[in-house]
Amino acid sequence: MCAKESTNFKRLTPEEWENAWQQHWKKAQLDYELPIDESEEHQFLSERRTAEKEKERLERINQEFEMGFKKLGKLGPAVTIFGSARFKPGEPYYELSRETGKAFAKAGFTVLTGGGPGAMEAANRGANEAGGPNYGLNIILPKEQAPNPYVTESFEFNYFFVRKVMLVKYSCAYIVMPGGLGTLDELFEAATLIQCNKIGPFPLILVGGKFWKGLRDFVAFMAEEGVFSPEEIGFSRIVETPQEAIEMVLAGLPQDFKNTLKPLK
C-alpha cells in the first residue's frame, strides 16, 4: 500500500535500487503512510508505554476480534482471494480476479477479500455479478484503501493482524492473485501456518504463472539452500485459470464438506 508505482519499469542494478530506496525514504520521512499526528502505530512504536495505555489498546484489539467473530462466524464455506489494490478495471489481472471471484461464487463458495480496490474489488465484483455472497474485510488506511462498492457487506479493521486472522480463520482455501507486499505478507502468513500445522492443510493456490514464476524459482532456490524441504512448499501451486483453481480446491476438501456447497445456477 505505497505511493503509485511507475508504469515504465526499469530493471535496476543493486546500487541503483539502494540509491532509489534511500532517496525515496529520505524525502518521505516518517509520514510516508501514516501521519505522525494521527497514527496509533507511530505512537505505539515511539511513545513510552504505560500499563494504562496498553490496557486501552488491548481493549480495542479485543473489540475488533469480537466484531470479526460475530460477523464471520456463521458464514458458509468460504474462500479468501488475495491480490493487489492497484489494478484497474479492464487490466488483465483485474479481469482475471473478477473471473475468479465469479467462478468461486458460482461453485457455491462465499468470497472474502481485503475489501479494497484492485484485485480485491474485482473478486468481490465477480462474486456479486454471479449473485453470490461476498464480504470485504477493509483495513483503515490514510491512502489507497477504501471499501469497494461490490461487497455484500464491509467490515472495517484498524489492525492488520486482526484482519489477517479473520481472512485465514474463516476460509477453507486461499487464492492468491498477483499482488505486492501486502499480498506476499498474506501469502506467507498462510503458508507458515500450514507448514507449522497451525491450520489446515488448506489449498493455497497462486493464479497467474507469468507473474509468480520468479517467486517459484526463488522458493526452489531457498529449498536447495536447505531452509525448508521441498514437500513443505507444495502450498504454492500455480494455475492459469479460475477453473483450475476451483478443481484443486474441490480435490483437497473432505467430501462431507463439499456436500455443504450449493452451486449457483
| Digit-coded pLDDT (tens) for 52-70 | 888 999 999 999 999 999 9
Polymer length of the chain: 265
Q: Which of 129, 111, 119 is nearest to 95 (CA)?
A: 119
The least confident of 4-18, 126-140, 144-158 is 4-18
Angle, helices 119-130 vs 92-106, to 10°: value is 40
Q: How confident is the model at residue 170 (pLDDT cuts 50, 70, 90)?
A: very high
* Cα dihedral across residues 57, 63, 66, 68: positive or negative: negative
Amino acid of residue 45: L
Task: Read off the pLDDT of each residue in 98-114 and give the average, rounded to a whole number.
Answer: 97
Angle at 24 between CA 22 and CA 25, to 5 degrees: 70
Share of the chain above pLDDT 90, in %: 63
Residue among 156, 158, 113 at smallest CA distance from 133: 113
Residue 120 banded pLDDT, cuts 50, 70, 90 = very high
Residue the block writes with cell 476438501: 253
C-alpha dihedral (105, 116, 186, 60), degrees to nearest 10:
-110
Burial class (CB in 10 A: 0-12, 13-18, 19+), 186: buried
What is the band of 84 on the pLDDT scale with cuts at 50, 70, 90? Answer: very high
Strands 174-176, 204-207: pairing is: parallel
Whole-number Å distance between alpha carbons of 173 and 78? 7
Q: What is the pLDDT of residue 71?
A: 92
The reply to whether the predicted model has a pTM over 0.85 is: no
> pLDDT digit string (tens) for 183-208?
999 999 999 999 998 988 889 999 99
Beta strands in 64-182 (DSSP E): 78-82, 110-113, 134-139, 153-157, 174-176
Handedness of CA 213, 214, 217, 222 (dihedral sign): negative
